Amino acid sequence: MRRLSAFLLLASLLVMLNIAIMPATAQNRGVVNVYSTRHYGATESPFIAFTEATGIDVRVSQGTNQALLDRLRAEGDRTVADVFMTVDAGTLGIAADEGLLQPIVSDVLLENIPAEFRDADMRWVGLSERVRGFVYNPAVVDVSELSTYEALGDAQWAGRLCMRPGAHIYTISLTSSLIYHLGEEGAEAVVAGWVANNPIYIDSDTRIIESVLAGQCDLGVVNHYYLARLISGDPEYPIRFFFPNQGEEERGAFFNLSGAGITSAALNYDNSVLFLEFLSSLEAQNPSDISFPTTNFEFPVHLEAEAESILESFGEFELDLTYPVSEYKDYQLPALDLLERVGYGMSE
C-alpha cells in the first residue's frame, strides 16, 4: 500500500510537470545511464521511484570523482553515460569546461533550483547541499570556543584536531574556498596554522566523529550528514555539529553540492532531463522515502523544501554564497598545490 501511494504521488507530480507516463519501449529507449560518484547504493530510493513512475530504467555505474571524470575523458563520444552525477561542484565544472557536459534546456530546473546552486550556463545543476563544519563533544569543548575555519590554526587547538587528508576532495574544496576569500598568501597562512597544530589525519568523516567521541581529538572537520547518520541510529548520540563563519561579519559555512549534468554524448537526453527534473521537484526534495536529499541527510536545494528533522535540530545557519559554485573548478589545482606546499598530510 505504501509503494502504491508513492507511485500515485509521483504520477500526479509527473503529470503536473507535463511528463508523460509511458512504458519502456524501443521508441523511448526506456533508460538513463548514470555515472555516479555517490556511494549510497546504486539503487537509491528516488531512482527506483522515478523508474516506477515513468518506466525509465536508471542504470548506475559508480566510482570516485577522479575515476569517473577520467573515464568520461577516455570514452569521449563513445561513452554510454547520459548523466554525470558527482559530490563536488568543482568536478562538474571541470567536466563542463572540457566539453564533456552539454547545456540543459529546462524551465522546470530553472524554477526548482536557485541560481546559486547551478552552473551559470546550465551545464550542470546542484541537487542537494553538503555543509562542511565542526563536530565536538560538549562535555569537552564549550561551543563558545568555536568560530571559524581560520581559527583552527590558533595555538589553542594544538594536538586537538582530527581532519581529512589533503588528497581528499573534501579538503581540497574547503581549501579552495580559503584561496577565493583570502588569496593565496592568506590561505597558505591559515593552512600552515592547521599543520602546525599537528592534526590527526583520518580518511573517513565517520571515523573522525568516532575519534572525537573516543577522546582522541576534541574537534573534527566533517560534512554534516555523517553526524546525522549516526544520530539517526542513536538519537542520544552525544556529539554536536557547529556551522563555522557565522555572524554579520562572516561569510557563512562552506558547502558543496551533490549535482549532475547531462553528457555531451548522451543518447537519452530527454530521459535525462526528466530524471533531473524529478530529482529537483519539491516532492522529491521534501523529506520522504523518495527524497534525494533525505537519502543521505543532505540539505535540499529547492527553496520551498524542508530539511529532514535531524538537520533542523542542528539549528539555523548561513551558507557561504559569496563563493560562486561555478568557480569551484578554478581553485582546485591551486588548493592541491597549497596543501602539498605547506606539508599538510596528504594521506592517513
3-state SS record for the chain? CHHHHHHHHHHHHHHHCCCCCCCCCCCCCCEEEEEECCCCCCCCHHHHHHHHHHCCEEEEEECCHHHHHHHHHHHHHHCCCCEEEECCHHHHHHHHHCCCEECCCCHHHHHHCCHHHECCCCCCEEEEEEEEEEEECCCCCCHHHCCCCHHHHCHHHCCCEEECCCCCHHHHHHHHHHHHHHHHHHHHHHHHHHHHCCCEECCCHHHHHHHHHHCCCCEEEEEHHHHHHHHHHCCCCCCEEECCCCCCCCCCECEEEEEEEEECCCCCHHHHHHHHHHHHCHHHHCCCCCCCCHHHCCEECCCCCCCCHHHHCCCCCCECCCCCHHHHHHHHHHHHHHHHHCCCCCCC
* Residue 42 confidence (pLDDT): 59
Question: In angstroms, what is the C-alpha Rg of the chain?
Answer: 20
Q: 210 and 112 in one domain?
A: no
The answer to whether 311 and 299 have CB atoms below 8 angstroms apart is yes
* pLDDT, tens digit, 9 for 90 and up, residues 172-192: 999 999 999 999 999 999 999
Alpha-carbon distance 121 to 288, whole Å?
31
The average confidence (pLDDT) of the chain is 92
108 assigned to some structural domain = yes
289 assigned to some structural domain = yes
* Residue 20 confidence (pLDDT): 42
Mean pLDDT of the region 248-257: 97
- 305-311 long-range contacts (CB < 8 A, ≥24 apart) are 308/228, 310/228, 310/231, 310/232, 311/224, 311/228
- 83-86/31-36 β-pairing: parallel
**Range of lowest pLDDT (44-48, 88-92, 325-329):** 44-48
pLDDT at 105 over 50: yes
Print the domain residue range for 66.
Answer: 2-129+256-308
Confidence of residue 44 (pLDDT cuts 50, 70, 90): confident
Confidence of residue 29 (pLDDT cuts 50, 70, 90): low
User: Tell me, what CATH number does 174's domain have?
Assistant: 3.40.190.10
Q: 241 and 192 in one domain?
A: yes
Cell of 246: 557565522
* Residue 320 confidence (pLDDT): 98
Alpha-carbon distance 10 to 53, whole Å?
6
Q: 292 and 213 in one domain?
A: no
Confidence of residue 28 (pLDDT cuts 50, 70, 90): very low
Q: 216 and 102 in one domain?
A: no
pLDDT at 74 over 50: yes
Mean pLDDT of the region 203-226: 98
* Residue 25 confidence (pLDDT): 38
Q: 169 and 70 in one domain?
A: no
* pLDDT, tens digit, 9 for 90 and up, residues 216-240: 999 999 999 999 999 999 999 999 9
Q: 44 and 12 in one domain?
A: yes
184 assigned to some structural domain = yes
347 assigned to some structural domain = no
pLDDT at 22 over 50: no
What is the model's pTM? 0.91
* Cα torsion 165, 167, 169, 171: sign: positive
* Residue 18 confidence (pLDDT): 45
Amino acid present at 315: G
Q: 193 and 281 in one domain?
A: no
pLDDT at 327 over 80: yes
274 assigned to some structural domain = yes
Q: 136 and 220 in one domain?
A: yes
With vertex at residue 54, the alpha carbon angle to CA 48 and CA 55, rounded to the nearest 5 degrees, is 75
Q: 335 and 198 in one domain?
A: yes
Percent of all residues in the chain with a pLDDT value above 70, rounded to a whole number = 91
Mean pLDDT of the region 128-138: 98
Q: Tell me which of 195 and 28 has the higher pLDDT.
A: 195
* Residue 176 confidence (pLDDT): 98
348 assigned to some structural domain = no
* Residue 141 confidence (pLDDT): 98
- Burial class for 318, CB neighbours closer than 10 Å (0-12, 13-18, 19+): middle
Mean pLDDT of the region 100-129: 98
Q: 113 and 92 in one domain?
A: yes
Alpha-carbon distance 229 to 222, whole Å?
12
* Residue 41 confidence (pLDDT): 64
Domain count, the chain: 2
Q: 135 and 125 in one domain?
A: no
346 assigned to some structural domain = no
302 assigned to some structural domain = yes
Q: 75 and 94 in one domain?
A: yes
